[in-house]
Amino acid sequence: MTNSPNETTSPSASACETGALTFDAIARNARDFAADRSNVVAKNAVTSNGVRAAARVPEQVARNTTVFDVEIKQGDRTDQQRSGRCWMFASLNTMRIRTIKKFNLKTFEFSQAYPLYWDKLEKANWFFENILSTLDEPRDGRLVAFLLADPVGDGGQWDMFRALVKKYGVVPKEAMPDTACAKNTYEMDAYLTRYLRKCACELRCAHEGGASVDELRSAKERMLANVQRMLTICLGEPPKTFDVRLRDTDDKLALSGTFTPREFFERTVGMELDDYVSVISAPTADKPFGHTYTVERLGNVVEVGGVRYLNLPVDRLKEMAATQLKDGLPVWFGCDVDQSYLQKDGVMDRDAVNVDALFGFEIDRGFDKAQRLDFGESVMTHAMTLEGVNLDANGKPTLWKVENSWGKDHGKDGFDSLTDDWFGEYVYQVVVDKKYLTDGERRVYDTEEPTVLAPWDPLGALAD
């Protein structure tokens, strides 16, 4: 007869030797738990309210102010809704401030459905090229399995967005508004992913059957046409030209005319895209600071290529971000957003969510940033925009203001704050003008051949 969990018969010697979980150990742990008043209080709080709410430290939340020494104010809050377009929203939010200032607008918003359309199409093309280049790789090998895992997800990085804007430009929101599939990409992504996997199967089977390169290329073009058809059905046709009427804060016509998307970018943003570079902080042993890195097979626009990072200590990221804010421009950044995050309060603060005290042992503080990357606990998951910073008497950052892309009904009217300590632990990437790099850092970024990281390296994570 099998022992029940309530029985406390002693385990056999073989059970201990094999590392089996014994009923004696379970009973002992249960007695110890019940004997500690703090465990009972924690259980009652967590079962009623959830872990994070029970671990919330109100005094620390209150220290996260809504007033900042350096602050950029721009238009109404934006909302990515049920999509993984944060990197697009963050990128466009760093651009629209230029349009708002240039034309003295109260608010302005670029279309996020427009780059979504082109990103999906370019990612599909990128995927097909990866499949064609790995036809002789084992289907069940790690590389092909990785390529098939998420071929056309919503996520991305700054370098990928820059490639889209340089090729396709931008349009105002009203020129290509969100559709149901832009607001909630789940169904579109699921069917598109299924189709791409079917295509990968077809291409590999054709190759195994002796198909020529020309035949495979012809099949790829047919498949890509089907992808474009699906995207147009889901997102609408991207405009080739469109009319614009912008009125300033005095209700005067500030801009009118007919533009192509690339003309509109030059006229309303005029940003030198290649001047803005991705600076990361990944303090792992395999990625020494002061060098450049790229990730194998990560990108979207084939003719542009992949991503490029400069890895520096996190204090340099803080310094450059604060300087760019002082110069009146917001900063794109990527982070692991859910760590120690109180979404309702709009607070990212390790001291405001004390789960270690709640459970009585180290969880959050158990290992450092490098160890979290090495052991799969933390990667970049979300991109947002820094729009303010508080500084101490020595000019060092203490608190950062964040524009998220989750609408105005979360946090502080759609804004969040993150402490400088949280920045150090969970911010992995900022995008800054190259002029804020030192001469040595700029020379490395511009001239060094980047170290190529494996496709599954943590730095290949996409913000969504």
Backbone angles phi, psi at 47, to 5 degrees: -65, -25
Tell me which residue of 433, 400, 424, 462 sits closest to 283, measured CA to CA. 424
Q: Looking at residue 459, what DSSP letter applies?
A: G
What integer pLDDT is reported at residue 16 of this predicted model? 56
Residue 195 one-letter amino acid: Y
Q: What sign has the CA pseudo-torsion 174, 180, 183, 185? A: negative
- The mean pLDDT of 317-340, rounded to a whole number, is 98
Q: Examine the pLDDT at 454 and tell me if it is beyond 80.
A: yes
DSSP H or E stretch at residue 117: helix 113-132
| CA–CA gap between residue 75 and residue 108 (Å, rounded) | 6
pLDDT band at 366 (very low <50, low <70, confident <90, very high): confident
How far are the Cα atoms of 82, 172, 226, 236 from residue 180, in angstroms, in the given order?
10, 18, 20, 11
- The mean pLDDT of 167-186, rounded to a whole number, is 98
How far are the Cα atoms of 102, 164, 172, 324 from residue 276, in angstroms, in the given order?
20, 14, 22, 11
- The mean pLDDT of 113-134, rounded to a whole number, is 98
- The mean pLDDT of 165-188, rounded to a whole number, is 98
Q: Examine the pLDDT at 455 and tell me if it is beyond 60.
A: yes
Q: Examine the pLDDT at 427 and tell me if it is beyond 70.
A: yes
Q: Please, are residues 358 and 42 in contact by the beta-carbon 8 Å criterion?
A: yes
| CA–CA gap between residue 46 and residue 30 (Å, rounded) | 17
Q: Please, are residues 89 and 112 in contact by the beta-carbon 8 Å criterion?
A: yes
Q: Please, are residues 379 and 461 in contact by the beta-carbon 8 Å criterion?
A: yes
Residue 83 one-letter amino acid: S
Q: Examine the pLDDT at 8 and tell me if it is beyond 50.
A: no
Q: Please, are residues 389 and 399 in contact by the beta-carbon 8 Å criterion?
A: yes
Give me the chain's average pLDDT, please: 95
What integer pLDDT is reported at residue 14 of this predicted model? 55
What integer pLDDT is reported at residue 2 of this predicted model? 45
Q: What sign has the CA pseudo-torsion 52, 58, 60, 63? A: positive
Q: Please, are residues 130 and 80 in contact by the beta-carbon 8 Å criterion?
A: no
Q: Please, are residues 404 and 384 in contact by the beta-carbon 8 Å criterion?
A: yes
Instruction: Report residue 255 as tokens.
Output: 């801009």
What integer pLDDT is reported at residue 13 of this predicted model? 52
Q: Examine the pLDDT at 12 and tell me if it is beyond 60.
A: no
Percentage of the chain surpassing pLDDT 90?
A: 94
Q: Please, are residues 298 and 129 in contact by the beta-carbon 8 Å criterion?
A: no
Percentage of the chain surpassing pLDDT 70?
A: 97
Which residues sit opposite 242 in a β-bridge?
A: 259
Of 122-126, 148-152, 337-341, 409-413, the one with minimum mean pLDDT is 409-413
- The mean pLDDT of 169-188, rounded to a whole number, is 98
Among residues 64, 300, 382, 390, the one annotated as catalytic is 382
Collapse the DSSP code of 109 into the 3-class scheme (helix H, G, I; strand E, B; otherwise coil) and give the result. coil
Q: Examine the pLDDT at 443 and tell me if it is beyond 50.
A: yes
- The mean pLDDT of 290-295, rounded to a whole number, is 98
What integer pLDDT is reported at residue 9 of this predicted model? 47
Of 154-163, 206-215, 244-253, 409-418, the one with minimum mean pLDDT is 409-418
What DSSP letter does each residue of 260-300 carry, written as one string? -HHHHHHHHT---GGGEEEEE----TTS-TTEEEEETT-BS
Let me know if 86 is a catalytic residue: yes
Among residues 64, 86, 125, 181, the one annotated as catalytic is 86
Instruction: Report residue 370 as tokens.
Output: 């490098």
Which residues sit opposite 335 in a β-bridge?
A: 382, 427
Domain with residues 58-101+272-299+307-464, CATH architecture: Alpha-Beta Complex (3.90)
| CA–CA gap between residue 157 and residue 91 (Å, rounded) | 9
Query: Range(s) for CATH 3.90.70.10 in the chain?
Result: 58-101+272-299+307-464
Q: Examine the pLDDT at 328 and tell me if it is beyond 80.
A: yes
- The mean pLDDT of 333-355, rounded to a whole number, is 96
